[in-house]
Structure 1
Amino acid sequence: MTDKKHIKSCILHKILISAYSLDINFTFQTLTAVNSSRPIFHLLPNAHLDPVWLWDWREGLNEGLATVQSVLNLMDEFPQLTFIRGESAIYEHVEKTSPALFRRIARQVEEGRWDIVGGTHIQPDSNLASTETLCRQFEYGLDYFRSRFGTHPTVAWQADSFGHTPGWPNILHAFGMTDFTFTRPQRGQFPLDTPAFWWKGSHGNRLLCYRQHWPWYCSERANLPEILDLTQKESSGFGFRNIGILMGLGNHGGGPSRRHILEVEKWREQHPEIEVRYSTLHGFFRALHSEIDDHPESDVPTVNGDLGYCLRGCYSSVQKFKTLYRQAESAVTEAECTAALVEQAFDVPARPLEEAWKAVLFNAFHDILPGSSIERAVEEQSAWMGLALHHAQEARFAALNELASRIDTSVAAPALPDHPTAVPMLVWNSQPHPFHGLVEIETSVDYRPIYSYENRADEVPLSVHDSRGRNLPLQSISTEHTSMPHLPWRKRVLVPLTIPPWGWHVVRFAWDELSSPSLPGGSPALTGRAGSTGITNGDWTIHHAEDSLRIERNGLNFWNTGRDISLQVVEDPWGSWGGMNEEVDSYQLDKVRETWRLTASEVIETGPLRAKLWTRWEGKNSWITLTFSLEQDSPVVKVDARLLWNERSARLKLVLPCSGDMEFDVPGATIHRASAGQLPSGRWVRRGTGGGAAGFASTALSDIDFSSDELRITLARATRYANDVPTGPEEFPWQPAVDCGELKFAFSLFSSDIAPDSAASALLHPPVAQMVHAHQGDLSSLGSLGQMKPEGVRVLSLQKLPTGEVFARIQNRNDHTCHATVEVSGGAGNASNLLPQEIRTIAIVPTAAIHRPREAAATAVSAA
């Protein structure tokens, strides 16, 4: 079996790092150093297991059973043997499928020979998942290990993940981790004089890290003596007596073999000058800490930054899965917050989201989310993410219906006989800060087509009344369907609304023969630019000029280079991981196959509140439509993209002509980068400084590269599935190209007038409009279930546990220390001295000052 781990490598780039901290206290106990001058080789038997890669999840999980059984049998045969195992998902499968094996594991844990490490649910990719997903990996994993084994592992274990986010050391400290071992990036890309080093966060917290001198976490069947010989040769220069050596077959499970054990015994006899012992990661790090306590600080190097980019093709492989993952990840987090708020306010049970969260966590695995698995596995994992998305939608739907049942959603009797009443629409803001902007609302304004307006559907008089009965400005827009265009029935409108933080606004939408909507104030969205097709809102202007698309802000070209955006197909013959040896050509992709032409454009929506410009760009084999939206007085340009991708050995890049400093959102931090080549990005990226900065946010996981005057975003990548061999476009035509077909996603462009986090949240978490039935209620049509102060602090998650406790995880995204407060119905939580980029989990405790009777609880912190 080909072992991908023997040909992968990664490159380190120094970048800015930001820190996390949670309210978790942990005390580390050192052991007394051994009084001996002999080097100590700590053998660390392990069996890294990819639950999904060249096989599906069923085979992967059951291989976990086979590996566990094999290791336990060897431990019975060889009482000196130890073993390390992380990932609670594997343990859960063993517990459910083979209770007898699980009991054997528990006995070895009690004896101290089986070492539970890592603390995560699965070994995730740490560059592509969200901050909250990475935090939740530890929350789920550590809770499982405490409940089953009464243990809290303190050594993090990432055998094979493709580099680590700059926020990673701070997350580890936040969950009580003191130490970290990994195998990539390797020495060739990240040279150190010693395998042990401190990895320092930006708030003074640090981890003791160990990357063994041998490249991999696994050994072949016959090369263990070679590993021991090489370790002996090189360890004299390490400066430490305690040396860690990972051993055991890996990838598809396996672990130590009988041959390994016998060869270790033979090597030990031949080298009495070396103390060779079977160890655990916790035991090894205890010894290493004890030894370091006796060394000058200068003997241990310190790393300030992240541990690199690795196998960079993974940042854009299988974009269709990455987009679905981001959608489900956002939906589950949002649904959990909504459900927790409603449950806290009304003391009603919420729909459980454990299975949805487990889907998010499992699919963050470093061969699933990066897109390096076989096609069949990708399809099955996509179905799994669809389940998570549906569970999230169910939970939010139930929570909003529960909320609506307490609210006054009544409507007035129709003024005309045999006329339908207005339809109440509950508009929900899932964010802890107020929403001010446009909301789309669609419903059937009658139960049958309105025949009196046949062939003049645009003339149906409509009205939307807000919570105070005021007639709102509106703009009638196209419905989602195109059937029966001559007969009006369902109608869709755009209205400006203000919604309180974590709050609702009930509006009434009607076919209304007796009312006329009010006219909006502010800057109108207009069309009709002389000599071209374009739209403007008085601030932004977008128009098709000759063969390019011009984007202007305040009458000037928005891009500081003076050029226009373009779309390029770039040659990319590399496999799923990119260059397996980090060849420069694999991450600096500059050979342009073709530049697409802007072939058509048309204004498809115009009115006083919003205008849309549809554009079509074509290449030889593929095309994309980009629909640009400008809203009244908005600092953001939203773009809906629909790509028909039919390429091989290539990637499509959106080229934004801008220059200046590069700032990236990454899991748990914002960082400045100057490195060339393909780089991972989170929700947004921004280039330039001051008023000239240009930002890009996306609903998909983004792969970014840049030159001195361009920012380039990969929109799709046509490699092969689970492929590590450079392959030309004409080779092996029977091998399917990844992402072939239609891809849909959205992105936004923004200026320095809006915080990047706000631009990303507006794209990922817009208000939700849900039709509800009309009835009287105790709560007003406008209200709030909570809020966060101050601005610039993000709520990563809000949970209500089965025990009744409520917790909020927050992050300070300001550039200054602040005091943060989270208020929900009947309770509040505070975080004092919250440092920039710091993350904390705070408890929401009952607060008499905002307590209200149950029926009025939701208005306790109302913005009505």
Structure 2
Amino acid sequence: MSVLTNNTIGEAKRKILLDRFEKFTSDIYYTDVNFKSKVYPERRPIDDVLYYSVPELARIPFSDLNSNLFKPLNERSNRTFGPSWSTHWFLLNITVPDEWAGKSVHLIWNSSSEALIFNMKGVPLQGLTGGDGGDKRHEFPLISKAFGGDKYSFYIEMACNGLFGIGGATMISEPDKDRTFELKKCEIAVFDEEAYELLMDFKLIADMAAHLPQDSNRGSQALLTANKIINKCDTRDRSTWGDASKIAKSFLNQHNGDSQHTIYSTGHCHIDVAWLWPYDETKRKCARSWSSQLSIMNKFKDYKFSQSQAQLYEWTKQLYPELYEQIKQKVQEGQFVPVGGSWVEMDGILPSGESMARQFLYGQRFFKKEFGKYCTEFWLPDSFGYSGQLPQIMKLSNIDSFVTQKMSWNNINKFPHSTMHWQGLDGSRVWAHFPPMDNYCSQVHVKDMLFNVSNFKQRGASNISLCLFGFGDGGGGPNYDMLERLTRFEKNIDSVPIAKLSSAKDFFDRLKKEQSGPDHQLEVWHGELYFELHRGCYTSQASTKRGNRFCQVALRNVEILNLMSRSDDLDLSEEWKLLLLNQFHDVLPGSSIGLAYVDAIDYYRTITKNCEDHISTFTNQIKSTCDGNVDLNHLHDHVLTINTCSWDRSQVVEYALPNDSNHNVAQISHDGKALSFVKVQQLGYDFDSQKLCPDQIQLTSTSDFIQIKNQFVRLQINQQSGHINLFDYRMNRWVIENGGNEFQLFEDVPLFWDAWDVEVYHVDKPIRIHDPNVKLEILESGPLRACVKLQIQLTQNSRLTQFIKVHANSSRIDFHTLVDWNHEQHVMLKSKFPTTIYSPHQMASFDAQFGHLQRPTHRNTSWDWSKFEVHCQMWFDLSEFDFGLAILNDCKHGCSVLNNEMSISLLRSPKSPDVNCDMGHHEFTYSLYSHEGNLQSGNVIQEAYQLNYPLICKTASGNSYGKDSLFDLSAHSVVIDAVKRAEDDRRSVVVRLYESFGGRVDHVVLGVSKLILGQVKRVCRVNILEEELEELEFQDQHVDLGVFGAFQIQSIKFEFE
């Protein structure tokens, strides 16, 4: 008797046996005699193959194929195709050999790339993934029982890219544009179902032997059982396989006790809308991935596949209508499960609050229209942080549950929960689950199942968890092997967690029932989910972030002006959807390849051009509406000023003058534009907005400083360094006295994720400014505005020009900045402001969606110092009890506050996956704003809006006169963030408001302009999806909105006669 067959198991014996098991199922070793070779015992090449290489990297649909362009494949000298991103079509004509009658037959295709099989009518049948990696998908079932002589014809579309694009040295390296892909296999093969079943049993038992505790009885039993199977199974004698299978079944039929953990397992195919490939490739990835899942569903009737992102469904509906109808049928049958509720899986921190609302508005409405129901869980497994307002936005979008796994990537602190309640800034709560396998593309091997249980952090409080299985990021989804493993785990194999094929909703329904008792034990996480990695994504691809912010502003303005001008209905859904698409969690953060940004910037240009045209049209419409309203006391030319903010504004504005204007001008700017001081009411327009400014700018210059002052502040600009000092007259104190606006360069080399990460050590390695001596030039000296031009050579190749502007009536100081950022490699640019402000609680405030939050300015614990680089929306603020300083921005998100030092991150220069990331010309503005009191009483929020939403000004002739306002809002702390036409009734108007200070407000009253909007018929409170919640009383053109809680969002719908 061999020593290996006795029951004494030592480490040497265990290692030998495990190696033996691996060789028994290997794709590489002993394939002539091992059992893996028996799954496909007979193969035949396909000889009748035609091909067509599409020119110029075009992606043509099936309907555009021309059979006359196809050539015989055997005429090629080789079977290598390229270059990267090219497309090649194949026509396969297959005849099954007569001797294969009664056998199951598969098509085997390996083009080392992604591919998609079509039937002869152009309907996608299944995706194929080439290569020899674990995510390969080479097999396509032809027939389960051949007659012999069966004939088939298929088209295959070969895409010259892998599942993860065409990266060079590493997956995220700059794309290799000249890659080629070899057609390695084009054949049919006999599929032996009995061999496959035994192989799957054996591999599962061998995995248990490898991964169960070595000192456990069950682990030893698995080791000996797997060895018995090999000894019993003669691969050359089929008659031995039955006895080997009985040994396997006897082992697998031993069950767990009642306390075993249950893993709710849902198929998933994470498809990045763009990442290491452009948008157009994603459209094909959908067809490849989803057709594959439909074929698996036909075999595994209990299998449920979860898929998010309405945008992907819409693309599939447009491009693959027959496939889409099959998906709709599977949705009705409960196997294909739409999840998420959003238009795309957007970034969770960079879009505005209104953009997040529109993600759910368009996403949920799509799912309801197409599939008859809303999604009940928000599905965002791969975003780089999550806003603390998402729970409220979710609840207002009919979603009460949340799934992500990204927090498991934290590189400093381990997130403490797997299942919890997540409470937002306003107090809204949702169920939240972070799958403890710590990924969204599990392959559900034994080791994954065991890790799931050991890593589950709510042991004792809950006994269930969720698993997302299937190849992902580049699509793909589950394969047959994964389903075979899970169906075995469902049978309750002793010592392995129980699997349950399910959906995310099934999991949350069970969780709610489990936690329904009075002693439920789930904990609550309050506020944002700050992600301790990928902090560089607040800054990378600056042009994309600028495009996003400016398009958000433009779309809001157009919607307001459409109503203000009393124009016909305007549908902006296509522009909104383009913006929402670009907010995908690898596009807006800056972590995609260059090709993706060619598309993104083009979409921003389209949105911007359309919005500019609309704004011009609506502005002229307002002028024409008021033509003939002559005021004999105001016969001179007017300035039509439009205010899209929900408070009255008094500001210095800049606007272009027509050549023949007789307009009264207080100051001409350095570039020939008019400067005026205006006052205009909230959400309104005024043709006579020009007023006399109560204050004037004073500017003086010495050899040391250029000094600018108004009634609020005194700004000093150092003539040599360009650094600034700032004195506030109201508080009689210096705000900055040691040189602010100091440009800093740092070596920016992360550990791996180049475009994604800024690491904590970057501040330890500053880079010397090439020429620290600046050039200053006074361009304007008042009376309404002073402007100083600053120029500095940052590096040998990069130069910064800045226009520092101070206005007569504000303490805000604008730094309008132009940077030519050229040939930089792994360099980061920041501007630093050392302040005199001491926050006794060591906290700073940061703007977020529909609210704000506080973060520590100290580094006491690892949770504190992990926030060495953080994000904001339009501002961040450091305040004492009665005074503070805010830094505002018009398109920057990265920032930091350490003790009393504030910094804003301006530019980066990573080299992968886009080697040209951020190279070129940049334009942006950031501002200093010192204020009395705290940020609320100091109007920080309003000032940030005013920077981002400048007054719209246009000269008008003297025969145009009038003013009006859409709405009149009573509460200073409540902000109207959106005014839009209702989705279903375009005569109705939806107003979205939120409480911005972080406190309760009683009796918020909203007045409505009868002149502009007409007679109100009915008012009701609605959710984000514009479903009615309750009717409100409307009287004398006003509605009492009742109480606003801290950071509460309310949407109000007005119906008009």
Q: Shorter-chain TM-score category?
A: 0.7 to 0.9
Pick closer, same or farther for the CA change 1:356–1:830 going to 2, 3 Å.
Answer: farther
Q: Do the aligned residues in 2 keep the contact of 1:812 with 1:837 (CA within 8 Å)?
A: yes
Which of 656, 675, 691 aligns to 2:833? It is 656
Quote how far apart the aligned CAs of 1:602 are. Answer: 1.8
Distance 1:564 1:107 in 2: 62
Distance 2:804 2:707 in 1: 10
Quote how far apart the aligned CAs of 1:38 are. Answer: 4.9
Match of 2:988 in 1: 805
Quote how far apart the aligned CAs of 1:698 are. Answer: 0.6
Pick closer, same or farther for the CA change 1:575–1:559 going to 2, 3 Å.
Answer: farther
Which of 352, 357, 360 aligns to 2:576? It is 357
Q: Could you tell me which amino acid in structure 2 is paired with residue 540 of structure 1?
A: V
Residues 1:134 and 2:344 aligned together: no
Distance 2:965 2:417 in 1: 55
Residues 1:228 and 2:449 aligned together: yes
Q: Could you tell me which amino acid in structure 2 is paired with residue 526 of structure 1?
A: Q
Q: Could you tell me which amino acid in structure 1 is paired with residue 313 of structure 2?
A: Y
Q: TM-score, length-normalised on structure 2?
A: 0.67
Residues 1:611 and 2:825 aligned together: no
Deviation by residue 1:127-155 (Cα, 9 ceiling, x = unmatched): 11111111111111111111111101111
Matches within 5 A, 1:318-717: 318-342=541-565, 346=566, 348-408=567-627, 425-446=639-660, 463-464=663-664, 474-479=666-671, 492-506=673-687, 520=692, 522-531=694-703, 532-548=705-721, 549-554=723-728, 558-560=734-736, 562-574=738-750, 577=753, 584-585=760-761, 589-595=763-769, 597-621=772-796, 622-646=798-822, 647-658=824-835, 659=837, 660=839, 661-674=843-856, 675-676=864-865, 677-717=868-908
Distance 2:697 2:943 in 1: 20
Q: Do the aligned residues in 2 keep the contact of 1:335 with 1:396 (CA within 8 Å)?
A: yes
Distance 1:575 1:399 in 2: 51
SS in 2 for 1:284: helix
Matches within 5 A, 1:178-327: 178-186=400-408, 191=414, 195-220=418-443, 224-231=445-452, 238-239=459-460, 240-269=462-491, 271=493, 275-294=498-517, 296-297=519-520, 299-309=521-531, 310-327=533-550
SS in 2 for 1:787: strand
Query: What residue ranges of structure 1 are gaps of 5+ in the alignment?
Result: 9-34, 416-420, 448-461, 465-472, 481-491, 510-517, 724-734, 852-864
The structure with the largest alpha-carbon Rg is: 2
Quote how far apart the aligned CAs of 1:217 are. Answer: 0.4
Q: Do the aligned residues in 2 keep the contact of 1:313 with 1:577 (CA within 8 Å)?
A: no
Quote how far apart the aligned CAs of 1:411 are. Answer: 7.5
Q: Could you tell me which amino acid in structure 1 is paired with residue 1043 of structure 2?
A: N
Q: In the comparison of the two structures, how many residue pairs are matched?
A: 750
Q: TM-score, length-normalised on structure 1?
A: 0.81
Q: Do the aligned residues in 2 keep the contact of 1:350 with 1:399 (CA within 8 Å)?
A: no
Deviation by residue 1:332-360 (Cα, 9 ceiling, x = unmatched): 12211221343xxx4x4133211111111
Residues 1:842 and 2:1052 aligned together: yes
Which of 245, 261, 269 aligns to 1:47? It is 269
SS in 2 for 1:397: helix
Quote how far apart the aligned CAs of 1:717 are. Answer: 0.6
Distance 2:558 2:911 in 1: 35
Q: Do the aligned residues in 1 keep the contact of 2:647 with 2:683 (CA within 8 Å)?
A: yes
Distance 1:341 1:236 in 2: 54
Quote how far apart the aligned CAs of 1:7 are. Answer: 11
Quote how far apart the aligned CAs of 1:237 are. Answer: 7.0
Distance 2:386 2:893 in 1: 16
Q: Do the aligned residues in 2 keep the contact of 1:317 with 1:576 (CA within 8 Å)?
A: no
Distance 1:440 1:409 in 2: 26
Distance 1:409 1:577 in 2: 62
Distance 1:236 1:476 in 2: 65
SS in 1 for 2:284: helix
Quote how far apart the aligned CAs of 1:267 are. Answer: 4.1
Query: What residue ranges of structure 2 are gaps of 5+ in the alignment?
Result: 1-161, 173-256, 857-863, 933-937, 1011-1015, 1017-1037
Q: Could you tell me which amino acid in structure 2 is paired with residue 645 of structure 1?
A: W
Distance 1:257 1:709 in 2: 55
Q: Do the aligned residues in 1 keep the contact of 2:419 with 2:458 (CA within 8 Å)?
A: no
Distance 2:828 2:321 in 1: 48
Q: Do the aligned residues in 2 keep the contact of 1:350 with 1:395 (CA within 8 Å)?
A: no
Quote how far apart the aligned CAs of 1:424 are. Answer: 5.1
Q: Could you tell me which amino acid in structure 1 is paired with residue 996 of structure 2?
A: R
Distance 1:559 1:251 in 2: 48
Distance 2:759 2:678 in 1: 52
Pick closer, same or farther for the CA change 1:339–1:553 going to 2, 3 Å.
Answer: same
Match of 2:243 in 1: none
Distance 1:615 1:745 in 2: 15
Q: Do the aligned residues in 1 keep the contact of 2:629 with 2:962 (CA within 8 Å)?
A: no
SS in 1 for 2:476: coil
Q: Do the aligned residues in 2 keep the contact of 1:807 with 1:844 (CA within 8 Å)?
A: yes
Quote how far apart the aligned CAs of 1:301 are. Answer: 2.1
Q: Could you tell me which amino acid in structure 1 is paired with residue 537 of structure 2?
A: C
Quote how far apart the aligned CAs of 1:428 are. Answer: 1.2
Quote how far apart the aligned CAs of 1:841 are. Answer: 1.0
Q: Do the aligned residues in 1 keep the contact of 2:748 with 2:758 (CA within 8 Å)?
A: no
Distance 1:496 1:772 in 2: 16
SS in 1 for 2:674: strand
Q: Do the aligned residues in 2 keep the contact of 1:341 with 1:825 (CA within 8 Å)?
A: no
Q: Do the aligned residues in 2 keep the contact of 1:431 with 1:765 (CA within 8 Å)?
A: yes
Q: Do the aligned residues in 1 keep the contact of 2:706 with 2:719 (CA within 8 Å)?
A: no
Quote how far apart the aligned CAs of 1:562 are. Answer: 4.0
Which segment is superposed worse, 594-603 or 53-62? Answer: 594-603
Match of 1:747 in 2: 926
SS in 2 for 1:322: helix
Residues 1:156 and 2:407 aligned together: no
Distance 1:40 1:743 in 2: 53
SS in 1 for 2:587: coil
Pick closer, same or farther for the CA change 1:541–1:613 going to 2, 3 Å.
Answer: farther
Quote how far apart the aligned CAs of 1:534 are. Answer: 3.2
Q: Do the aligned residues in 2 keep the contact of 1:341 with 1:824 (CA within 8 Å)?
A: no
Q: Could you tell me which amino acid in structure 2 is paired with residue 432 of structure 1?
A: S
Quote how far apart the aligned CAs of 1:530 are. Answer: 4.1
Q: Do the aligned residues in 2 keep the contact of 1:567 with 1:655 (CA within 8 Å)?
A: yes
Distance 1:438 1:194 in 2: 51
